[in-house]
A and B are shown apart, each in its own frame.
Chain A
């Protein structure tokens, strides 16, 4: 093996494998145009091709694939939500995630490490008990754990009682996991492109053409195309793209800032989060601690960082893991979170008949990537809204029927 690798490395004409379709010219017409080549858009294209045999599909991306929130999230996968609708939906996503590497024949580095959410007061303990009951009823592994169990699960945690917010209990979610976020997008892109889907990077949508209440054209920086239908999957820009189709959404877009430390030897296995301290962390497989928090205090279409947020992240994480006091911050960044009033997504039909929404992904988009793609593909292919996403339709706000997941975020926002 090493010898053949060396020979291969020294050969001049190395056989290169193209993972995705080259950027060919745009065709005049596509049956389905997907706006946004992030995880959700690419997963939708993948399932359209694999489950429904629909391959005359273009995925349009203004930058490069996976360059938006797919690259900016903290790669947390979990299903320990609060409502029956939410738990059932994210539970199916985890099932798909578990088999993705096999299905793609491409390693997405899925690691089931468990997630521990910390309670620092009685109200949080009550809500954790509620979540544990709902989760267990729906077949999701969640349980309330005491301080002794926490010490066994995560011995590195600071369980002192003379801190600002002592830890009183935890919600242990054995199904909690992480994966390499870029690889998820690449795996879906590769699988979709191999089946004939066209990926068009550096192709920004600049307008949506309508006639008789239907979308019939999409204007791009590389020319106009006609289309059978459009799926929008542009987390961070949902309101701006929907506005091109004349659709107003219940979304405010906030930055969410995160950072990673220098790498350490493996010492923290599960994912740990504290809604009260507005912080969550896990150690990546290359040893860095990823530290994320809540969204910024006010909306902004800008991925700039602020010292205030970084200071508060650092102060909070030091309360949980004091040994990080000497750690150096290697990188920091921000993504744009499309926050909905109930912290649930907006999926399914829109007021425009052949324009489908996959929006409002706030801080919960990465974990939902597989199931969102599968459900959106089913909707586009069959015209029927899958039961799993019926509760997340845009109309729920007009019916005053929200799916409240505000209590189930890893860090309150």
Chain B
């Protein structure tokens, strides 16, 4: 069983977690158009390589970010959302 290091609960089996999609900054609802919303909701980079993703520890409903290699399945880093700025995850690669 693969282990994921939850920033709140510590290392837990990956079956306790739910994948939540790629991390993208939310567009400003007041100013963005339908097309921008469609892109935000449906479209993904789906890259082969290191990707920043949302994950949730299901039992505690705690959402956090994971830097994961989508080819090797190696988890490089898990961190709280408020730490996102420190790793460059904010730019919508």
Q: Tell me the B45-93 residues at the A interface (CB within 8 Å).
A: 45-48, 53, 70-73
Q: Tell me the A369-413 residues at the B interface (CB within 8 Å).
A: 397-398, 400
Contact partner, B45, options A248, A307, A308, Cβ 8 Å: A248
Contact partner, B19, options A250, A298, A398, A400, Cβ 8 Å: A298
Q: How far is the CB of B92 from the nearest CB of chain A, in Å?
A: 11
A400 touches B73 (CB 8 A): no
Q: How many residues of A contact B (CB 8 A)?
A: 23
Q: Which of B2, B15, B18, B38 has the most C-beta atoms of chain A within 10 angstroms of its own C-beta? A: B38
Answer yes or no: B44 CB below 8 A from chain A CBs: yes
What residue in chain B is nearest A250 (Cβ atoms)?
B42
Known contacts A248-B45, A297-B19: A398-B38 contact under CB 8 Å: yes
Contact partner, B38, options A302, A306, A400, Cβ 8 Å: A400
Answer yes or no: A249 CB below 8 A from chain B CBs: yes
Q: Which residues of A contact B21 (CB under 8 A)?
A: 252
Q: Tell me the A334-362 residues at the B interface (CB within 8 Å).
A: 341
Answer yes or no: A70 CB below 8 A from chain B CBs: no
A239 touches B35 (CB 8 A): no
Q: How far is the CB of A182 from the nearest CB of chain B, in Å?
A: 26
Q: How many residues of B contact A (CB 8 A)?
A: 22
Q: How far is the CB of B55 from the nearest CB of chain A, in Å?
A: 8
Q: Which residues of A contact B30 (CB under 8 A)?
A: none
Interface of chain A, helix or strand or loop or mixed?
A: loop
Q: How far is the CB of A406 from the nearest CB of chain B, in Å?
A: 14
A398 touches B35 (CB 8 A): yes
Contact partner, A397, options B1, B43, B53, B71, Cβ 8 Å: B43
B38 touches A251 (CB 8 A): no
B15 touches A299 (CB 8 A): no
Bound: A240/B43 CA distance, A: 13
Contact partner, A302, options B44, B47, B73, Cβ 8 Å: B73
Bound: A307/B43 CA distance, A: 31
Contact partner, B71, options A239, A297, A301, A307, Cβ 8 Å: A301
Q: Which residues of B contact A301 (CB under 8 A)?
A: 48, 70-71
B34 touches A398 (CB 8 A): yes
Q: How far is the CB of A340 from the nearest CB of chain B, in Å?
A: 9
Q: Which residues of B contact A239 (CB under 8 A)?
A: 44-47
What residue in chain B is nearest A251 (Cβ atoms)?
B46
Q: How far is the CB of B66 from the nearest CB of chain A, in Å?
A: 10
What sequence of 0s and 1s flags, for each residue 214-244 of chain A, a beta carbon within 8 Å of any chain B beta carbon?
0000000000000000000000000110010
What residue in chain A is nearest B20 (Cβ atoms)?
A298
Bound: A385/B4 CA distance, A: 46
Answer yes or no: A253 CB below 8 A from chain B CBs: yes
Bound: A197/B1 CA distance, A: 47
Q: Which residues of B contact A307 (CB under 8 A)?
A: 1
What residue in chain B is nearest A400 (Cβ atoms)?
B38
A250 touches B44 (CB 8 A): yes
Answer yes or no: A324 CB below 8 A from chain B CBs: no
Q: Which residues of B contact A398 (CB under 8 A)?
A: 34-35, 38
What residue in chain B is nearest A297 (Cβ atoms)?
B19
Known contacts A308-B1, A398-B34, A398-B35: A252-B73 contact under CB 8 Å: no
Answer yes or no: A300 CB below 8 A from chain B CBs: yes
Q: How far is the CB of B54 from the nearest CB of chain A, in Å?
A: 11
Q: Tell me the A274-320 residues at the B interface (CB within 8 Å).
A: 297-302, 304, 306-308
Q: How far is the CB of A337 from the nearest CB of chain B, in Å?
A: 12
What sequence of 0s and 1s flags, for each residue 20-34 of chain B, a beta carbon within 8 Å of any chain A beta carbon?
010000000000001
B1 touches A253 (CB 8 A): no
Q: How far is the CB of B67 from the nearest CB of chain A, in Å?
A: 14
Q: Which residues of A contact B43 (CB under 8 A)?
A: 248-250, 397
A252 touches B46 (CB 8 A): yes
Q: Which residues of A contact B19 (CB under 8 A)?
A: 297-299
A249 touches B46 (CB 8 A): yes
Q: How far is the CB of B91 from the nearest CB of chain A, in Å?
A: 15
A302 touches B72 (CB 8 A): yes
Bound: A251/B46 CA distance, A: 7
Q: How far is the CB of A99 from the nearest CB of chain B, in Å?
A: 37
Q: Which residues of A contact B34 (CB under 8 A)?
A: 398, 400
Q: How far is the CB of A266 from the nearest CB of chain B, in Å?
A: 37
With A301-B71, A400-B38 already in contact, 8 other A-B pairs whose C-beta atoms are closer than 8 Å: A239-B44, A240-B48, A249-B43, A297-B19, A300-B71, A302-B71, A302-B72, A397-B43
Q: Closest 5 CB pairs between A and B?
A: A239-B46, A298-B19, A250-B42, A301-B48, A397-B42
5 A-B residue pairs with CB within 8 Å: A239-B45, A248-B39, A248-B43, A249-B46, A300-B73
